Amino acid sequence: MHIAQFLGKTLQGEPNPIFKPANLSDCGPNDIVWVKSYTQERLILLEKRQPGLAICDMKTSEKTTVPTILSENPRLDFIRVLNHFYLEKREACIHPTAIIEKSATVGKDVTIGAYAYIGHDVLIGDGCNIGTGVVIEGKVCLGNRCVIKSNAALGGQGFGFEYDEYGNLIHFPHLGSIITEDDVWIGSCSTVEIGTLGATRIFRGSKIDDLVQVGHNVTVGRNTLIMANTVLCGGCSIGERCWIAPNSVIKEKVNIGDNVTVGLGSVVLRDVEDGVVVAGVPAKPLQ
Amino acid sequence: MYRIKKFEIRASEIADYLNEQLVGNDFIITSPHSIRTYKSSEHSSMEVNRSRSQILIISDHPVPVDLCTGYIISQNPDLDLAYILREFFSTAPINQIHSSAMISEEARIGRNVMVGAHTIIGPDVTIGDNTKIFHNVVINGLVHIGKFCVIKDGAVIGSEGWGFIDDEDGIPFHPPQLGLISIEDRVWIGSNSTIERGMIEETVIHADVKIDDLVHVGAGSHLGQKSKLTAGVVVASHVTIGENVYIAPNAVIREELNIDDDVVIGMGAVVINNLTSGNRYVGNPARLIRKKKRQTDDEKDTVS
């Protein structure tokens, strides 16, 4: 079997021809599925549906009659199979309605969707995928293979105001930049503000979900996951491999260490040390 | 919006512009820097202008002489730096209407208005002079926008209000939303924010209101002058907010509430009752923080 060979693992059971990937709950005889871990219900489903191949853990593999590939992380291996065999590779193209200013630099194999606007001084790395209606303006530098989903806005002016003598609000002109490294993902309708004078930085491999607001001068460390509707206020800094749950708020200038987990709807007001789990309003460490 | 500009200016000229005294030597400044990006200093409440080894500091207290070439004492360093940046080191774009913008012929657009790429402006829209509307914005329905407003990328103003009413069979019925949206002068609306149209009643955003990104303002709401709504705030329908109110990120305000003047609402707060003037409210559901406790909190902050 090609799939077993590709994963470098051994196939147990009859090699069937595999046509398409599917969910466990609605799979058929020529489908490939994945089983996260052993449960009674999942085993019953496997026996009832009889898919062509299952990527699963040791316990499921021992009990089922379906051909299986053993894996320590079935989901990861399933993702690898999808990426290698089933993902249609579209050719990179820039939609004719997209507007790219002359002083912008766009790398090789970049896809830009309809009605996107790429402003002056923007630098886009190779292999980036930019959705429809995305606006990128100001001094923005995107690394290679970044994904920007539809309607995201990068490089807008930050929300910095100061009261003058008469009590009127004066806007602080934001003249900084945004630097995102390689493999960064930014979700639909998310906004990333430009730095006041320094830079807003998103390091390599970080993924930002939909409707997230990243404030000015924020630093997001490597491989961090930030979920939907989170607000990162100005100047806060997040470490590596963190997980920030949906609807959280991080107060301005708060530092969050590496490997931190922030619970659903938390409001983080104070610095968080490495490896701590915090949750609640205001966020407190969990035991 | 702004682009940084190369500019050389003498320190004494900046002092003259701010109407303050320059302490130390006079020299030529070539670029502005923020204290956050300029590492050699430990002072946090001041801003730095740097020229190789020569530094001008704008600060609210005297600075040691070995740290800089000269300094200017200012009551409000952030504001003064903002003035200097705007005056000397930045260029704003020329206000013009982008060729790909789709503006209805019936819309009334004032003088010197900027409209960005792919922006759509409907027939019943009035826009005042000197307003900047960026890219991919949608403005629809009966909308009046004042002068000197800024509407950032992807904002949607005048989309149909939620306003569903269950009919006899319990099926949600959508009544036509015909209300006016009135946005007064110098209002700022952030990226991807939405302002909804009411059924008949007006949605009013008074002068000098600043709305950050990803904010939702429901139908029929009134936002008082100089109020600030930060990112992710949700204001449900028919809420009346007073003047000078500050709402921290991700707070939610229930429908048909009154928020008095000078109220501060904390991060992630869920407001389900009317709030009275001048107080701070936090938590879910939002509760008043007593003033004594607030003072100790402030003291703690200054100590740390």
pLDDT, tens digit (0-9, with 9 covering 90-100), for B207-218? 999 999 999 999
- Give SS3 for A119: coil
Contact A213 B232 (CB under 8 A): yes
Give the start-to-end residue ranges of the domains of chain B: 3-91, 102-290
A178: closest CA among A158, A159, A199? A199
DSSP string, B164-191: -EE-TTS-EE-------EEE-TT-EE-T
**Average confidence (pLDDT) over B215-236:** 94
* Residues B80 and B98 sit within 8 Å (Cβ to Cβ): no
Does residue A269 sit at the B interface (CB-CB below 8 Å)? yes
Contact A229 B82 (CB under 8 A): no
Which residues of chain B have a CB within 8 Å of the CB of A175? 2-4, 32, 85, 89-90
Q: Does the annotation count A120 as an active-site position?
A: no
CB-nearest to B37 from A137, A197, A266 is A197
Does residue A280 sit at the B interface (CB-CB below 8 Å)? no
pTM score of the predicted model: 0.82
Contact A156 B136 (CB under 8 A): no
Residues 6+ apart with CB under 8 A from A235: A215, A216, A217, A218, A252, A253, B36
What is the ipTM score, two decimals?
0.77
pLDDT band at A66 (very low <50, low <70, confident <90, very high): confident
Q: Is the pLDDT of residue B276 over 70?
A: yes
CATH for the B102-290 domain, from 3.30.70.270, 2.160.10.10, 3.40.50.2300, 3.100.10.10: 2.160.10.10
Q: What is the pLDDT of residue B20?
A: 85
Q: What is the pLDDT of residue B37?
A: 55
Percent of chain B with pLDDT over 90: 51
Q: Is the pLDDT of residue B253 over 90?
A: yes
Q: Is the pLDDT of residue A197 over 90?
A: no
Nearest chain A residue to B285, by CA: A281
Sheet holding A284-285, edge to edge: A111-112, A129-130, A147-148, A185-186, A207-208, A225-226, A243-244, A261-262, A277-279, A284-285
Q: What is the pLDDT of residue B299?
A: 47
Nearest chain B residue to A269, by CA: B267
- Write out the H or E segment, with its range, that includes residue A243: strand A243-244
